[in-house]
Amino acid sequence: MSSPLLEQLIESFRVLPGVGRKTAQRMAYHVLERGRDGGRRLAQVLAEAVERIGHCSQCRDFSETDVCTVCASGGRDRQQLCVVESPADRLAIETATGYRGLYYVLQGRLSPLDGIGPRELGLALAARLAGGEVTELIVATSSTVEGEATAHYLAQLARQHGARPSRLAQGLPLGGELEYVDRGTLSHAFGTRGEMRD
Ligand SMILES: [Zn+2]
């Protein structure tokens, strides 16, 4: 490689998911040949984003402020709390449905092998439910084995605190991640959610 910096640039692009050596090379050449302005903007926004975007203290979604705009909004129904696995799932529900309640982002699901048990996932949520404001806990974890186990645990947690657990209706693909479900299917599954029973 004729430039050590170019080599570093290529390697840096490889931190992105799905980007291998070839694609990283193409990106680096593109920026240098035709996209220097875009490259400057990308570098600036990227640096700012990784410094300034943290997590909302209430829902754990990404936020630049201690409490995110959704949690801080006076226009949301505080009796409904929808639990999702990731920020991408939260965005999918917000975009596809007319849901006006609040969210809680797990940032993961049960994974005993990685040492993520119910306790690790549910501690902050339990404190939230103990507040007594939430009457319906909408469990929107994925329909994978771990997602179902997480849902079961969350339903128990909700009942312990006097909240009604509900689960998105069937029709979502088995083993599927919410963020990849099309809008119509997600909207329908959300709208026809049913109470969870043992
Ligand atoms: Zn929030």
What's the chain look like in SS3? Answer: CCCHHHHHHHHHHCCCCCCCHHHHHHHHHHHHHHCHHHHHHHHHHHHHHHHHCEECCCCCCEECCCCCHHHHCCCCEEEEEEEECCHHHHHHHHHHCCCCEEEEECCCCCEHHHCECHHHHHHHHHHHHHCCCCCEEEECCCCCHHHHHHHHHHHHHHHHCCCEEEECCECECCCCCHHHCCHHHHHHHHHCCEECCC
Tell me the CA–centroid distance for residue 54 and ligand 1, in Å: 11
- Cα(9) to ligand 1 centroid in Å equals 35
Give the Å distance between the CA of 105 and the centre of ligand 1.
Answer: 9
Cα of 7 to ligand 1 centre, how many Å? Answer: 39
Q: Supply the pLDDT for residue 173.
A: 61
pTM of this prediction exceeds 0.85? no
Cα(67) to centroid(ligand 1), Å: 5
- Average model confidence (pLDDT) across the chain: 87
58-68 pLDDT per residue, tens = 898 999 999 99
Class of 62-195 in CATH: alpha beta
The residue ranges of every structural domain in the chain are: 4-52, 62-195
| CATH number 3.40.50.720 given to 4-52 | no
Residues 72-94 pLDDT 10s: 999 999 999 999 988 999 999 99
Average the pLDDT over 182-194 and give the result.
81
CA of 197 to the centre of ligand 1 (A): 28
Per the model's pLDDT, the better-predicted residue between 124 and 59 turns out to be 59
